[in-house]
């Protein structure tokens, strides 16, 4: 075995080691970036999504999407962000690592709200003007099912186990309950006027629905699919978020411009957090539940709330008419 041969072998081995190390470092850095929770805020007027680093509460990216983006949902692996564009009749798909739109899916007329199955394989979209929910298989980009909802469905939220889909219908003043396996309507539950926000408790036993026009929240038991209690709230309640441990429920109000806290043990309001913004609309929590983000649509800001002290930490300036917000896991 010659010295020249040994040198060549060493160079080849060294080159492979370097290549492997570079790939490993790239993957590690990518995972680190994706692991950092980010808040994604849609804007009805500026037609874009702004990305907020939840560690620093600074805007780190702006992504142009379709016309009148509203609903937003993030894939379970945090790699893709789906945006419902109401006036483009499609969904923009954003790569979370690059903050670039990588796909557009035609989904029907006037999509407003959307959600994903727990495994991230199915996309559920409600089309407000069509009064329907469409289900798409993401891998093949094909329409999987169409389910008739009520009049002007606002959004769709799946239960923690993915078995139920709840659709609040603004004009028929009810919620449509769908069996996701059979893709059939199980019930239509009457609530208050203009139901908007929906949130399941972590155990999936209860659903809280905000009724904008009547200023109430309906509490629905998922086993009986009936309203168990109605809670009086402030003016124009919309977004609802529940802490991961289920101990507190946060409800945003579009006219009284505050966030009110419900104690789920008593189903009573225990505190009101004033927001220095107008039309406090949709909300989202960080994975650890320590921060709540609330869009203020008519002041072009997002409120950041510390859920330990239940005080406002910061008001972040964002784009024109912020609407929806979602935070990566």
Residue with tokens 């009086």, as numbered in its chain: 232
Mean pLDDT across 9-34: 46
Distance, CA of 9 to CA of 145 (rounded, Å): 58
Q: What is the mean pLDDT of residues 135-139?
A: 97
The structural domains of the chain, with segments of one domain joined by +, span: 44-327
Q: Could you give phi then psi for residue 214, rounded to 5 degrees?
A: -90, -5
pLDDT at 24: 41
Q: Give the pLDDT score at 130.
A: 96
Q: 35-39, 84-88, 148-152, 252-256: lowest mean pLDDT where?
A: 35-39
Residue 12 has pLDDT above 90, yes or no: no
Q: 3-class DSSP state for residue 100?
A: strand
Give the tens place of pLDDT for each residue, 204-263: 999 999 999 999 999 999 999 999 999 999 999 999 999 999 999 999 999 999 999 999
Other CB atoms within a 10 A radius of the CB of residue 99 amount to 16
CA dist 14 and 44 (Å) reads 53
pLDDT of res. 7: 42
pLDDT in tens, 67-98: 999 999 999 999 999 999 999 999 999 999 99
Residue 36 pLDDT: 74
pLDDT band per the 50, 70, 90 thresholds, residue 164: very high
Statement: residue 30 has pLDDT above 80? no
b/e for 152-171, b at 16 or more Cβ within 10 A?
A: bbbbbbbbeebebbbbbbbe
Question: Does residue 34 surpass a pLDDT of 80?
Answer: no
Q: Please list, in sequence order, all residues whose beta carbon lies within 8 angstroms of the beta carbon of residue 199, skipping any fewer than 6 positions away.
A: 157, 207, 208, 240, 241, 242, 249
Mean pLDDT of the chain: 92
DSSP line for 249-293: EEEEETTTTEEEEEETTTTEEEEEEE-SSSSEEEEEE-TTSSEEE
Length of the chain: 329
Residue 61 is predicted with a pLDDT of: 98
CB-based contact 291:313 (threshold 8 Å): yes
pTM score, whole prediction: 0.90
> Among 3.40.50.2000, 2.130.10.10, 3.60.15.10, 1.10.10.60, what is the CATH number of 44-327?
2.130.10.10
Local confidence band at 2 (pLDDT 50, 70, 90 cut-offs): low
Given a cut of 80, whether residue 309 has pLDDT beyond it is: yes
What mean pLDDT is predicted for residues 91-111?
A: 98
Q: What is the pLDDT of residue 5?
A: 47
CB 116 within 8 A of CB 124: yes
Which pair of tokens denotes residue 241? Answer: 């978020």
Is there a contact between 170 and 211 (Cβ–Cβ < 8 Å)? Answer: no
Confidence (pLDDT) at 33: 45
Structure tokens at 22: 């570079």
């Amino acid at each position: 075995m010659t010295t020249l041969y040994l040198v060549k072998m060493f160079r080849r081995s060294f080159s492979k080691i370097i290549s492997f190390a570079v790939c490993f470092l790239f993957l590690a850095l990518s995972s680190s970036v994706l692991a950092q929770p980010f808040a994604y805020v849609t804007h009805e007027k500026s037609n874009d999504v702004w990305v907020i680093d939840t560690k620093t509460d600074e805007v780190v990216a702006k992504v142009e999407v379709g016309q009148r983006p509203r609903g937003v949902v993030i894939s379970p692996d945090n790699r893709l962000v789906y945006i419902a564009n109401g006036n483009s009749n499609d969904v923009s798909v954003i790569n979370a690592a690059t903050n670039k739109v990588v796909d557009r899916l035609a989904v029907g007329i006037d999509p407003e709200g959307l959600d994903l199955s727990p495994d991230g394989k199915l996309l559920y979209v409600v089309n407000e003007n069509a009064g329907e929910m469409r289900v798409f298989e993401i891998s093949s980009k094909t329409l999987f099912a169409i389910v008739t909802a009520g009049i002007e469905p606002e959004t769709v939220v799946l239960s923690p186990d993915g078995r139920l889909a709840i659709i609040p219908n603004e004009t028929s003043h009810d919620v449509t309950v769908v069996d996701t396996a059979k893709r059939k309507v199980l019930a239509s539950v009457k609530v208050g006027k203009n139901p908007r926000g929906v949130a399941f408790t972590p155990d999936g036993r209860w659903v809280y629905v905000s009724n904008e026009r009547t200023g109430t929240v309906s509490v629905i038991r998922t086993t009986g699919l009936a309203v168990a209690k109605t809670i009086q709230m402030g003016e124009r309640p919309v977004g609802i978020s529940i802490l991961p441990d289920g101990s507190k429920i946060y409800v945003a109000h579009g006219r009284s411009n505050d966030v009110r806290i419900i104690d789920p043990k008593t189903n009573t309001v225990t505190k009101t957090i004033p927001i220095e913004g107008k039309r406090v609309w949709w909300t989202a929590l960080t994975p650890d539940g320590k921060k709540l983000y609330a869009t203020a649509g008519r002041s072009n800001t997002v409120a950041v709330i510390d859920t330990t002290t239940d005080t406002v930490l910061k008001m972040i300036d964002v784009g024109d008419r912020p609407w929806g917000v979602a935070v990566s896991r």
